[in-house]
Chains A and B, each alone.
Chain A
Amino acid sequence: MNTLAERAQTVIDSIKSPDARRANQEFVAAVSRDTAFQLDACVHCGQCAEACHFYLATNDPRYTPIYKLQPMLKAYRRERAPFSFLTKALGLAPPEATAQELTDWSELLYDSCNLCGRCTLACPMGIDIAGLVRRAREGMSAAGFAPPDLYKAAQRALDSGSPIGVGWVALKRQIEIQEQETGIKIPVDVVGADYLVILSSMEIIGFSEIIGALARIFKQAGVSWTIPSTGFEATNIGVQIGSRDIAAALVARVVEAAERLKVKYVISPECGHAYSALRWEGPNLLGRPYPFKVVQIMELLDQLVREGRLRTRGKDARRLTFHDPCQLVRRGGLTGASHRLMNGVNEHYVELSGDGATSFCCGGGGGVSAIHRAEPIRFAAFDCKKREIEATGAEALVTSCSNCRNVLEEAIEQYAMDMPVLGLTELVAQYLDPVPERPPTG
């Protein structure tokens, strides 16, 4: 067991004996210059509530985003705020959050927050509330106060590589099926390939056609690629539970695979938080820049289309709309790519209101879909998304995150809506222009 895995295991084991003092220490330790300025800037205007679907769906003020940060805010005010020495001396410092408070707040910091970042865009003070919730989760997860389901998923990810226990045997089987379906040999562990394809467990189990879709697309575009037999899991329960130790242990596996196979790029697949984990948090978790670049699959497909390497013929005639995964668009900066791709394959594409930046989360992001007890509030919050989708009059919904896709399908069923949910990569593959194959380049 290496040090990263040991540290991750310590975090997971914290659930056996939750420790409020440890949580408070971690809250304080998570405060940097930027965090301090932001924790200090709130004027209690409550506008973030208006941006949060958990508040909008329930009208319960406890779901006000900034309120979810109370335990961290108290720890900060007590120990790290500019005048904490004064308030402490005068006996005015807020008390540390108790174990009971932290247990109560677990629902607010996890079950009812997708880290979707709508509140961040709405805050007139410019406070990155979603970013602060991510930091507050560090304290919660290190001290045993994260939801048990997330610790279990983290344990599975640490033990088997996947939060739902999907191993190489399962992926190998899906690769074989996709090879039969497409007639294309899928490259595994090819040293020196340009692109490394990693996948989310949800894709492997629920939407494995994506492997065939990628094979067909890359064949047409002449992309040299490979799938690793280890380190292929793209999801990172660590960034969801909010533990840098767990997140680092998991992202290290992907980085190790990329370095072993000497690839130039790692493709972050159709998964929102996997992109955050690999693209934005990964180098900071490991404390070093990568020797490769991270490219999200939408970004790559868009690039291949613009370079003329990927051509489509015909378009879906239905009225389709696109759900922008929060971690890819609002939090990840992948603005425009998926919309250009949609226009390329759909005749009557209609955007959701908000142009990606402000559209609602599916309700399952930030680990919420993995928390069983959060199901009722997740479905309640979906009402906001439902109204947004229905306003477009679309016949089907497309997205580029398999977790969103799964969550949307569940919610659509719950609300008895008649709306298929499609994956964008598969949709693109469906309209590939059939041309003679080209040899792989590079």
Chain B
Amino acid sequence: MELLAFARGPALWFSLTVLVVGSIWRIAASWRLGNKPDMSEPRGTDLLAGAMRSILGRMIPRKAFWRDGKYGTLNAYIYHLGLVVIVFGYLPHIYFVKQLIGLAWPPLPETVVYVAVGLTFISMFIALLERLTDPVRRLLSGFDDYFSWFVVMLPLVTGMIAIHQTYPPGSAPLPPIYPLPLALHLLSVELLFVWLPFGKLAHAFLVLASRAITGAALARKGAAQ
């Protein structure tokens, strides 16, 4: 129980602090560099619309860039959506968030979440295999890529171990039967929180900035997104 108390107490608060402060710094440090004002006469002036179009539109690749025999894009959808379903659709996770910040929402059926876990698990391994075998991705990859994969995979694995042993049926808020798997699961999530601001997982928020910048710049020129 001591480890679980640590995971639920100091470790959680430490990791959340690193997550929030680190993420804010990662944004602020780039923000403070500033931009020079663009003196050229704009063709398009609705830069916000351009930014939004880019943020939303780039979720789906243009057909011109599809290439036969490559399923990397499809696989990325599976693990991204899978993680969303698992993180936000699983009842114990919703309880966790509710206890933390008081927000709650209806859960997805457990079966849906379990299917998502299975698909995400497989999809994550495919992603790793592709990174290791595709010459382009292999060339681009370094410690950050593999470690980030590991810190996403770890909560998935520890979570799968914790699924059936954690709580008496229908009484999620009560103390768990076996605290160790839950403690390890929490600690693995906390590792993810701590790593997120420093590595490529920060794309969770940097993607918005990057897409918006290019979207606004292309809109300014009147160019296609």
Contact = CB atoms under 8 A, between A and B. Distances in A.
Contacts of B206: 37, 40-41, 125
Contacts of A37: 30, 206, 209-210, 213
B64 A333 contact: no
Contacts of B64: 353-354, 358
Interface string A417-434: 000000000000000000
Interface string B203-225: 10011011111110110011111
A47 B211 contact: no
A47 B223 contact: no
B164 interface: no
Interface string B47-77: 0000000110011011011010010110010
A440 interface: no
Interface string A103-128: 00000000000000000111111111
A88 B126 CA distance: 34
Contacts of A67: 139-140
Contacts of B215: 126
Given A45-B72, A126-B54, A333-B223, A40 B35 contact: no
Name the residue among B43, B59, B225 with the largest chain A CB count within 10 angstroms.
Answer: B43
Contact of A33 (B33, B44, B135, B145): B33
Contacts of B174: none
Question: What interface size band does chain A fall in?
Answer: 35 or more
B39 A49 contact: no
Contacts of A289: 39-41
Given A32-B35, A37-B210, A47 B217 contact: no
B98 interface: no
A359 to B, nearest CB: 8
A360 to B, nearest CB: 10
A275 to B, nearest CB: 10
Interface in A213-230: none
A124 B30 contact: no
A274 interface: no
Interface string A276-305: 000111111011111001100000000000
B2 interface: no
Interface in B124-158: 131, 134-141, 145
Contact of A64 (B139, B212, B221): B139
- Interface class of chain B by DSSP: helix
B217 A128 contact: yes
A135 interface: no
A19 to B, nearest CB: 24
A380 to B, nearest CB: 18
A50 B41 contact: no
Name the residue among B40, B58, B131 with the largest chain A CB count within 10 angstroms.
Answer: B40
B200 interface: yes
A34 interface: yes
A73 to B, nearest CB: 11
Interface residues of B, number: 60
A62 interface: yes
B55 to A, nearest CB: 8
Contacts of A333: 43-44, 218, 221-223
Given A51-B65, A124-B58, A125-B211, A33 B221 contact: no
Contact of A50 (B70, B211, B225): B70
Contacts, number: 173
Contacts of B141: 44
B151 to A, nearest CB: 14
B81 to A, nearest CB: 14
B38 A284 contact: yes
Nearest to A64: B136
B40 A44 contact: no
Contact of A40 (B30, B34, B212): B30
Contacts of B200: 42-44
A35 B225 CA distance: 18
A80 B34 CA distance: 13
A80 B221 contact: no
Contacts of A357: 62, 223-224
Interface string B64-100: 1101001011001000000000000000000000000
B210 A127 contact: yes
Name the residue among A42, A46, A83 with the largest chain B CB count within 10 angstroms.
Answer: A46
B25 to A, nearest CB: 6
Contacts of A281: 40
Top-3 shortest CB links A-B = A126-B211, A333-B222, A82-B29
18 contacts: A32-B35, A32-B36, A40-B30, A40-B202, A41-B210, A44-B137, A46-B137, A83-B26, A124-B59, A128-B214, A280-B40, A290-B41, A329-B223, A329-B224, A333-B221, A335-B222, A353-B64, A355-B224
Given A44-B200, A61-B139, 20 more contacts: A35-B33, A36-B33, A37-B30, A38-B210, A44-B131, A47-B72, A47-B73, A50-B65, A51-B65, A124-B73, A125-B58, A125-B210, A127-B214, A128-B217, A131-B217, A279-B40, A281-B40, A284-B40, A287-B39, A354-B64
